[in-house]
Amino acid sequence: MLQQRVIEKIRNAERLGQEEGESLYDLDLYTLGELADSIRRQRYGKKSFFNINRHINPTNICADTCKFCAYSASRKNPNQYTLTHEEIVQIAKNSYANGAKEVHIVSAHNPQAGLEWYLGAFQKIKEVLPQLHVKALTAAEVDFLSREYGLSYDEVLDRMIESGVDSMPGGGAEIFDEGVRDFICKGKVTSEQWLDIHRKWHQRGRMSNATMLFGHVEERKHRIDHMLRLRTLQDETGGFNAFIPLVYQKENNFLKVKSFPTGQEILKTYAISRILLDNIPHIKAYWVTASIGLALIAQEFGADDLDGTIEKESIQSAAGAKSSNGMNLDEFVGLIRNSGFDPVERDSLYNELKAY
For the stretch 99-148, pLDDT in tens is: 999 999 998 878 888 899 999 999 999 999 999 999 999 999 999 999 99
Domain ranges of the chain: 25-355
- Among 44-53, 276-285, 301-310, the least confident range: 301-310
Mean pLDDT score across all residues of the chain: 90
pLDDT at residue number 320: 43
Task: Give the mean pLDDT of 278-286.
Answer: 97
pLDDT at residue number 318: 43
Judged against a pLDDT cut of 80, whether residue 70 lies above it is answered with no
Q: What is the pTM of this model?
A: 0.91
User: In this structure, is the dihedral angle defined by the CA atoms of residues 30, 36, 42 and 45, taken in order, positive or negative?
Assistant: negative
Judged against a pLDDT cut of 70, whether residue 69 lies above it is answered with no
Q: How far is the C-alpha of 5 from the C-alpha of 8, rounded, in Å?
A: 5
DSSP state of 344: E
Distance of CA 234 to the CA centre of its chain: 16
Could you tell me which of 149, 232, 250 has the C-alpha nearest to residue 196? 232
pLDDT in tens, 145-204: 999 999 999 999 999 999 999 999 999 999 999 999 998 888 899 999 999 999 999 999
Q: Which fold has domain 25-355?
A: TIM Barrel (3.20.20)
pLDDT at residue number 63: 67
